[in-house]
Amino acid sequence: MLNVLIVGASGYAGAELVNYMHRHRFANIKKIFVSKNSLDIGKMFSDVHHQFTDMIHLRFESISDFNLVDQDINVVFLATDHNVSHDMVPFFLSSGCIVFDLSAAYRVRDCKIYTDYYRFIHKYKKILEKSVYGLAEWKEKEIKKASLVSVPGCYATCVQLALRPLVEEKILCSQNIPIINAISGVSGAGRKSNITNSFCQVSLQPYNIFTHRHTPEIIEHLGIPVIFIPHLGAFYRGIITTITCKLKDNIQEVDVYNIFYKFYKNKPLIRIYKKFLPSIKTVEKMPFCDIGFTIKDNYIVIVAAEDNLLKGAAAQAVQCFNIRFGFPETESIL
């Protein structure tokens, strides 16, 4: 039984993380924390997230009141802003904890990315170099030995799971850059009220073309250039991605199926579609990434979908936790 802290438990992804870990057979949530300025300090978890009424009896505490010396803590989950995680990760690592960080603070090696895309200077280059990128289906060996697992971004997870098998098998035409159109629900913007994620304001609109923070993350870890066009949709949760690529000559539909099967046949949270294409409905409140595709004239359109709060955040974090400690990979997730 591992003792766990969860910081940032009042947010949407944080709440899903609390739910997963609360029902985990090999984990015990010692405390849940929010920032020192949060209005949720002192409230019960179920008073903020009503769907867990009479299920989860935990109270939010201020992280400023926490003294690690007095705690027997094995694992810390950080469902926090990148600025907060940037400063907290060194503290928890130095205290002997295994850390799973859901922010972007330790996802990419190039420190310049943090200056250009996140507007802060990364101060912990040595820790950054040792961070393991937690794309669970592709980094199992590294995760098993990690002290710090940086859980990928929601868009980056969906895109990489769809593209990486084809990149690994080198069947994409190198002269054509994959074009990625991805649509996310408004929960991706977080729980804090904002005019940009109000359902009265949201239509269906692209944003941050060429400048979205997940673009360099995708490029660094996928190893190829891409054009990433994110959209905000007027729905609560989920991501659906369509990726257009050109294949090398003589690549058939069966070849692509076989490639996906080769890499994902033993991966329980990846579902490959043959007769249909994925949709938001197939993944909403589910921990899967669903992948389908269609081919015509050497062009392939891959469709991938996931719940941004689950496979794009909390479910993948718990999946990494299970891999790290040798538990069944889907423990508490399925």
Q: Which of 36, 152, 164 is nearest to 103 (CA)?
A: 152
Q: Which residues pair with 184 in a beta bridge?
A: 232, 239
Q: What angle do CA 219, 225, 227 make, to 5 degrees?
A: 95
Joined together, the tokens standing for residue 54 give 């009479």
- CA pair distance 223, 293, nearest whole angstrom: 21
Active site residues: 154
Coil vs helix vs strand at 38? coil
> Are 285 and 268 a contacting pair, CB within 8 Å?
no
Cα dihedral 73, 318, 89, 48 sign: negative
Q: Which of 172, 75, 151 is nearest to 312 (CA)?
A: 151
Q: Which of 220, 226, 228, 207 is nearest to 155 (CA)?
A: 228
Sequence-ordered alpha helix ranges (H) in 144-210: 154-168
- CA pair distance 319, 151, nearest whole angstrom: 10
Which residues make Cβ contacts (< 8 Å) with residue 133, sequence separation at least 6? Answer: 107, 139, 142, 150, 152, 221
- CA pair distance 261, 59, nearest whole angstrom: 44
